[in-house]
């Protein structure tokens, strides 16, 4: 097994690896065993599964087989051609070892206490041009992720596409990807029945990093954020904007007194001028953003005569914001998990 040779290279002098590519037992789910030796003494034996490709769904199935295994406390290891950073993190969090052909390695044992780790490629070197994108980046993904989080299933794929404003083809492709990642449950040729929306929202905010690719400008409201909110309440009805970040979390899960306001606007300079904000290079307490897509204006809420983004958008923006914003985002997400009836909607049909 090639993984054995890669692990051997990462071990100190006097340590050796022996592998046997035979089935351990009919119900073990293992394809091989890997024995870690030191000075010819057996330290630990790993049961190994070998997969050509691995996604999050495969990790969940692997973890379930490990829990059902009849071999007790024997540690488990997953070997593949390439493992994405997300899959690696999922395996580590579940206490499962792994190795891939690019050099990514995590070998862990509790008894005896062993930890061997190495880093390989950060992207799949075998992924050729023209293959389907397997990520949550881009406009269709933004539209669909927001809809999947905001609307409680069940609903059909065409119904989701219509609600999100995405093409049917892009919707089917993303649904297939989310099913393979274990983030979505769908009956065969039938409706979507369940969504792991907290994990989906985390993945989207981590992968897409919405604010990183948007045009942002810093401004100063000299009289503070309460003065800003008072000015927002005086805007004419045809002025399109939406408040995100800390201010948008206030009606749901107030973490602390907001220090920085985030505003979405189609015309940031125009809105800033209307509100009397001063452009600054440092010391801004207001950030005005030109959104990359209209999804930020979807399913907004009027709170105290101020338009705020949906909680799902606020979480994504906070988790990518400066200072304490990421902690605020996780706090809001925790509130959302405990209070789904207060913000999640039924799909209009």
> CA 248, CA 258: separation in Å to the nearest integer?
10
Distance CA 118, CA 8 (A): 12
Question: pLDDT tier at 292 (50, 70, 90 boundaries)?
Answer: confident
pLDDT of the residue at 130:
47
For the CA atoms of 78, 83, 87, 92, the dihedral, rounded to the nearest 10 degrees, stands at 50
Architecture of 139-208 per CATH? Answer: Orthogonal Bundle (1.10)
- Give mean pLDDT, residues 242-265: 92
pLDDT at 28 over 60: no
- Given this model, what pLDDT does residue 230 score? 95
Tokens standing for residue 49:
């599964």
Provide mean pLDDT across the span 63-92: 84
Residues 197-223 have a mean pLDDT of 84
Confidence of residue 212 (pLDDT cuts 50, 70, 90): low
> Which residue, among 91, 102, 97, has the nearest Cα to 127 in the 3D structure?
102
- The values of phi and psi at residue 67, to 5°, are -65, -35
Separation CA 349–CA 346 (nearest Å):
9
CA distances from 260 to 176, 210, 246, 256 (A): 38, 17, 7, 11
pLDDT of residue 23: 57
Classified by CATH at the fold level, domain 214-346 comes out as Beta Polymerase; domain 2 (3.30.460)
CATH architecture of 2-118: 3-Layer(aba) Sandwich (3.40)
Task: Tell me the per-residue pLDDT of 6-18, one tens digit each, with 9 for 90 and over.
Answer: 788 888 888 999 8
Q: Are 76 and 97 in contact (CB under 8 A)?
A: yes
Q: Taking the chain, what is the end-to-end CA distance rounded to the nearest angstrom?
A: 54
Determine what percent of the chain is predicted with pLDDT higher than 70: 93
pLDDT at 25 over 60: no
Confidence of residue 211 (pLDDT cuts 50, 70, 90): low
Return the pLDDT at 338.
Answer: 96
Percent of the chain with pLDDT over 90: 52
pTM for the whole thing?
0.70
pLDDT value of position 129: 52
Rounded mean pLDDT, 40-50: 91
> Is the pLDDT score of 199 beyond 80?
yes
pLDDT, tens only, 99-154: 988 889 999 998 888 898 888 887 777 765 545 556 788 889 999 999 999 999 99
Read off the pLDDT of each residue in 68-73 and give the average, rounded to a whole number.
70
pLDDT tens per residue, range 273-283: 999 999 998 89
- Per-residue confidence (pLDDT) for residue 84, from 0 to 100: 85
Domain ranges of the chain: 2-118, 139-208, 214-346
Tell me the pLDDT band of 71, cut-offs 50, 70 and 90. Answer: low
Average pLDDT across the chain, whole number: 88
Strands (E), the chain: 15-20, 32-38, 41-51, 76-80, 97-100, 105-109, 114-118, 151-152, 184-186, 192-195, 215-220, 241-244, 261-265, 278-279, 286-290, 301-303, 306-308, 345-346
Tokens of 324: 């304490």
């Amino acid at each position: 097994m090639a993984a054995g040779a890669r692990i051997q290279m990462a071990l100190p002098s006097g340590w050796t690896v022996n592998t046997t590519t035979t089935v351990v037992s009919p119900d073990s789910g293992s394809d091989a065993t890997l024995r870690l030796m030191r000075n010819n003494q057996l330290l630990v034996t790993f049961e190994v599964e070998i997969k050509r490709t691995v996604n999050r769904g495969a990790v969940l199935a692997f973890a379930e087989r490990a829990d059902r295994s009849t071999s007790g406390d024997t540690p488990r290891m997953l070997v593949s051609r390439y493992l994405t950073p997300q899959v690696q993190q999922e395996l580590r969090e579940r206490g499962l070892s792994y190795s891939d052909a690019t050099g990514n390695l995590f070998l862990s044992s509790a008894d005896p206490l062993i930890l061997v780790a190495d880093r390989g490629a950060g992207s799949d070197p075998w992924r050729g041009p023209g293959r389907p994108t397997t990520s949550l980046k881009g406009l269709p993904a933004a539209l669909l992720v927001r809809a999947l989080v905001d609307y409680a299933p069940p609903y059909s794929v065409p119904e989701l596409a219509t609600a999100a404003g995405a093409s049917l083809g892009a919707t089917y492709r993303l649904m297939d990807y989310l099913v393979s990642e274990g983030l979505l449950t769908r009956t065969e040729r039938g409706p979507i029945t369940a969504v792991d929306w907290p994990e989906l929202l985390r993945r989207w905010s981590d992968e897409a990093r919405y604010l990183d690719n948007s045009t942002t400008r810093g401004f100063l409201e000299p009289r503070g954020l309460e003065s800003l909110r008072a000015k927002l309440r005086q805007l004419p009805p045809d002025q399109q904007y939406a408040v995100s970040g800390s201010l948008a979390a206030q009606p749901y899960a107030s973490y602390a007194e907001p220090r920085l306001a985030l505003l979405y606007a189609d015309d940031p300079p125009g809105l800033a001028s209307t509100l009397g904000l001063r452009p600054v290079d440092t010391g801004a307490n207001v950030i005005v953003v030109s959104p990359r897509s209209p999804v930020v204006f979807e399913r907004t809420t009027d709170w105290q005569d101020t338009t705020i983004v949906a909680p799902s958008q606020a979480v994504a923006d906070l988790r990518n914001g400066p200072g304490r914003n990421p902690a605020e985002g996780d706090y809001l997400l925790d509130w959302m998990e405990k209070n789904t009836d207060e913000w999640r909607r039924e799909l209009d049909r």
